[in-house]
Structures are given as C-alpha cells and as structure tokens.
Chains A and B, each alone.
Chain A
Amino acid sequence: MNYPPAIIAEAMVNGLLTGSVYALVALGLTLVYGVLHIINFAHGALLTCAMFAVWALVTFTGISPYAAILPLALAFFAGGYVLQRYLIGPASHGDDSNILLVTLGLSIAIENALLAAFHADTRNLEGDFGFQVIELGPMLISRPKLIGFAAAVAVAGLLWLLLARTDTGRAIRAVAKEKLGARLMGIEVGHIYGVTFGIGCACLAVAACLLMPSFYVNPRVGNAFVLVAFTIVVLGGMGSVAGALLGGLFIGMVESLGGLLLGDSLGQLGIFVIFILVLLFRPTGLFGARA
C-alpha cells in the first residue's frame, strides 16, 4: 500500500501527539517502578478512575476539562499517597509477589466499584472539544491532542525539575538507588514511597484530563493503556523521566506507522516485538541508563 507523503507525515505527527499522552501514563508508572520497584497492576484502574472523575466533574459542574487538571492532580496525589502509605504498603509487607496481588486485588475492586457506580455504559464528554482542528498546511491537527502534547511535555519537565532540584526529589532518587542507605541517612522511606505513588497518580489525573476531550471512558478503558505504558517504561529505562517521554513519543510513532502499514490490529505486534528485542539486547532501555 502506497500512501502519499502528506498522509505519512500526518500519521507521524498524530503518532507523536498520541504518544505524548501514553508518555504521561507511563511517567507515573516509571516513577513507581523505579522507586518502589513494584509492578503496579492497579495503574490502569486508577487511570479509569481519573477519567471518570474528569467526566463527572465536567458533566456536573460544566468546567473545562483543562481547568480540572490542577484540582484533580492534587486530589489524586493525596489519594495515591494514602493508598500506598496506608493500604498497599502495610498489606504487602514489602514482598514483591504480594504487592502484585494487592495491586491486582485493588484493580479488580476499583474497576467493579466504577461499574457499580457508573454502570457499564461508554461515556464521552459532550460538546465540541473533540472536533476542533488546527490547519497546518495540508494537515488537520486535532486541537485537544496538540494541547495534550504541550501539557505532557510540560509535566515531564516539571517532574524532571522536581526530581533534580528539590529536596523531595533528591530523597526520592536516594530511595530509588539504595533503600537501606537512604533510611540510614534519616529519610523516611514509607513517606517517600507514598509521595512517589502520589506523584504517579497525579500524572494519571493529568493524563485523564488530556485524554477525555478526544476519548471515551467506561469501567475497563484504562487497561488499554497499561500494556503500552509498561512497554514505554522498559524502552525508556525504568525510573527515567526523559526516557518515558521519549519512549512514549517513539511508541506513538511506531504504533501510528505500524497501523498505517500493517493495519491497526497487526500494528500492535510491532510494539511487542520491539519490546522483546529491546529487553533481549538492550535491557537498560533504548534511551540511556536508569535514573
């Protein structure tokens, strides 16, 4: 199948834009992964939760989904902190396989609580957010996706600053590198774990606000983003903020071009094959070392 260059260019731009939101979902995951060294099975359910929160907030109060970013991010930070500090942490006794089970149990509970509360219907934000386009030469670029891209890059930048320049950031990095050493230095590891998980959840809240104008939500939708987010985390190097951003953009492009050339179903194959190859031949990730 031959496509005119304009279509290919547009697919690439679209891949980058979509990838930026994947990156945001992956940012939360990579932090939790890099610091707590856990695979968070509840990540998808928490994203769904955030998307429903956006939907409810916008539908019932009439505010713009972009205005919801700040309050929801704060709320999810607090919720994530509490969840990790007072539930996941104590319940799993610090054992890896138990953390798996706890987050798995949580994801089942959250997904079905959403089902009970909102029913199984697929919901969209009403209004014309989704239809606004910006013309760029022959290309029609979706405005909500462009905003999403800018916001995702901004959030990644902020997160990088936070990790590099603040005391909390230094503490997080210390815990990630050497838990015992950090504890000896007087860092309260449980607190840092909570903060990290909270930041991860805040990232999800931002991602939800950016997704909802052009996407839909139902109680299971978050799962669609989790596998791809894991792929990005591995590609970018676990715990690396810049890696997650680059990995997200890269995967977005692969998916978009793969979809164009192989069809959207088989296009998914490209993602996993790249994932396997990277793990086999360059397990520290495509983009440099671990944080």
Chain B
Amino acid sequence: MKRRELLFIFALLAALVLVPLLASNLLINFLVTALIVALAAQGWNILGGLGGQISFGHAAFFGTGAYVTELLQLRFGVNAWLAALVGIGVAAALGWTIGAAVFRARLRGSYFALVTLAFAEVLRILANALEFTGGATGLLLKLQPGAAQFQFESRAVFAWIAIAVVGVVLLLTRHIANSRFGAQLVAVRENEDAARALGVDIIATKLRAITLSAAITASAGVLYVQYFLYLDAQIGYGTWISIEALLAAIIGGVGTVAGPVIGALALHALGELTKGFAGSITGIDLVIFGLLLVAAVAFAPAGIVGAWKRYVGGRRNA
C-alpha cells in the first residue's frame, strides 16, 4: 500500500513532466494555473487536512509570499530568487505569528476558520490602501525574461518549475504523513483531549503545521507573481485563493497526500470544460459548474482520492 502510493506519486509527476513536451501552450498555461492552485491547496492540506484546522484565510500567506517577492524586487532591487525565498520565509513567520495568537486563544473549528478569514481581510484592506504596496493600482513586475529574473520565455520551463515544487511538496507531505509529527497532527485532528493525554504538545504541533502550511501556500503566491507579473490586493489577499485552496484540497480528498493536486487539476479541468456549455446564455456554464460540485460531494464525499480507494478496495474484496 505504502509503496503503491509512492509509485502513484512518481507516475503522476512523470505524466505532468511529459505534458509540456507534448502539448500546446494552451494546455501548458492551463497546467501552470492549476498547479499554482494545487500548491496553495497542498499548503492548506497540511493544516486543514492532516491537522484538521480548516482555514478560510490562506490568502494571507499566498498574498504575503507574492507581495514580499515582488516588493523586494521592485523597491530594493533584490534578485528574484532570493526575494522568493524571503517571501516564503516572511509568510512562514506570519503563519507562526497568527498561529501563536489564535491557537493560544484555543480557537477551533468555525471560530478558527473565521479568524483566519479576518486576518486575510485586514491584509487585503491594508495592501489596497498603502502606498508602499502599490495601493489599489497594484504592482507590475517588469517584463525581462531570463533565468536570473525568474522569468522564462517558454511556458514549458515555468511549468516544469511548478511541477518540481509540487513534486517536492508531494514527497514532503508523504514524509510528514508517515512521520511522528504527522501522527501527532492526526491525533490533534481526531481528538485534542486524547492527544493531550498521550503527551502531544497541541499548540507546538499546530504551530509547526501552520508555519509549514503558510510557507507552501506562499510559494504558490511566488509562482503566481513570477508567472503573471502583476499583483493587486484582490489577487494577493482576496478570498478567491482561500476558497480555491480549500476547494481543491477537499474535492481531491482531505488529508490525503495527492488529493490537493488531483483536486486542483480536476476542478480547473471542470471549469474549462463547462465553458463549452455557455452557449448564448451568460453564466450557464458556472451554474453547471456549481451543480457538478454539489453532485461531486454527494456522490464522492471522501473526495476523488477517497472514492478511488473505495473503488479499488471494493474490487479487491469482491
């Protein structure tokens, strides 16, 4: 079973790596956008899936990663790669700080969800108002393709970078899931009191999870800004990415290793496919998208990965 999972991860990565070789830019661009969301969802999954702390505010980390990366380049002339690392670091620190405040206050469940949302909103309002962050006009990164600037003429190269990051996080997630830390996280998710009785330091465990989670989601923000080269408060800190991250993770399979990636790819493919239904009535495509989402939950409540496991398990038992 364990080895099968590893095999699956490598097969998935291999398939993804091949795509830019074979497909058109249309598909590569689709892949990059979906992988950015996948990465945000992978970050969400560490805290929300493994740790059971459902956040509505991962935009706070996505946006911080993106803003710090872009601001360091624009305002201080820092090299893009270094800026990206700092961006991820700052977002991780933000994650730890929010976690320290929120977990000490013992906020759980929907309280936790709402307070993370409020943090993201505060950041959005500030980024939109402050001169330093470009205000509402946003920040435009200068178009200068070149590996040193973390910009690439070819979409394929960028796709490979995104695949590499997603791959690293996949392996990391798998490692965590099988580690002592992972077991502690799951214990916290299932029953905090029992975990405490077993000697798990609840707050420390959650803090580690939110810090790591923030760093991973921030790397999605970094990729976003290096790919699209434009950032404003709505993109960085808007609710859209918080929702896409949790949506992809839950649709794919909460707390599973590959769930967020599969969920993001499936959701974005669904979004593209339903576009064809729009015809002449504006909005019909998204109505269908929404209803399919409901249907997916109704018929695959444990996500795509969960449904697959049940299907495989059912066949083996039969």
The chain A residues found within 8 Å of chain B, CB to CB, are 33, 37, 39, 87, 90-93, 95-98, 100-102, 104-116, 119-120, 219, 227, 230-231, 234, 238, 265-266, 268-269, 272-273, 275-276, 279-281, 283
Contacts and interface: CB of A to CB of B under 8 A. Distances in A.
B114 A230 contact: yes
B9 to A, nearest CB: 23
Given A39-B114, A120-B282, 20 more contacts: A39-B110, A87-B294, A91-B294, A97-B54, A101-B251, A101-B296, A102-B298, A104-B243, A105-B294, A107-B290, A108-B287, A109-B286, A109-B289, A113-B287, A115-B282, A238-B110, A276-B118, A279-B115, A280-B105, A280-B107
A283 B297 contact: no
Interface string B109-146: 11101110111011001101100000000000000000
Residue with the greatest number of chain A CB neighbours at <10 A, chosen from B125, B251, B289: B125
Judged by DSSP, the binding face of A is: helix
Contacts of B101: 280
B284 A116 contact: yes
B18 interface: no
Interface of B: 54, 101-102, 105-107, 109-111, 113-115, 117-119, 121-122, 125-126, 128-129, 243, 246-247, 250-251, 254, 281-287, 289-298, 301
Nearest to A223: B239
Contacts of B295: 91
A117 to B, nearest CB: 8
Does more than half of chain B's interface fall in helix, strand or loop, or is it mixed? helix
22 contacts: A92-B298, A93-B301, A95-B301, A96-B54, A97-B54, A97-B254, A100-B250, A104-B243, A105-B290, A108-B287, A111-B286, A112-B283, A112-B284, A112-B285, A112-B286, A115-B283, A120-B282, A227-B121, A234-B111, A265-B129, A272-B125, A279-B102
Contacts of B283: 112-116, 219
Contact of B121 (A92, A106, A114, A272): A272
Nearest to B120: A272
Contacts of B128: 265
A91 B290 CA distance: 13
Contact of A109 (B251, B282, B287): B287
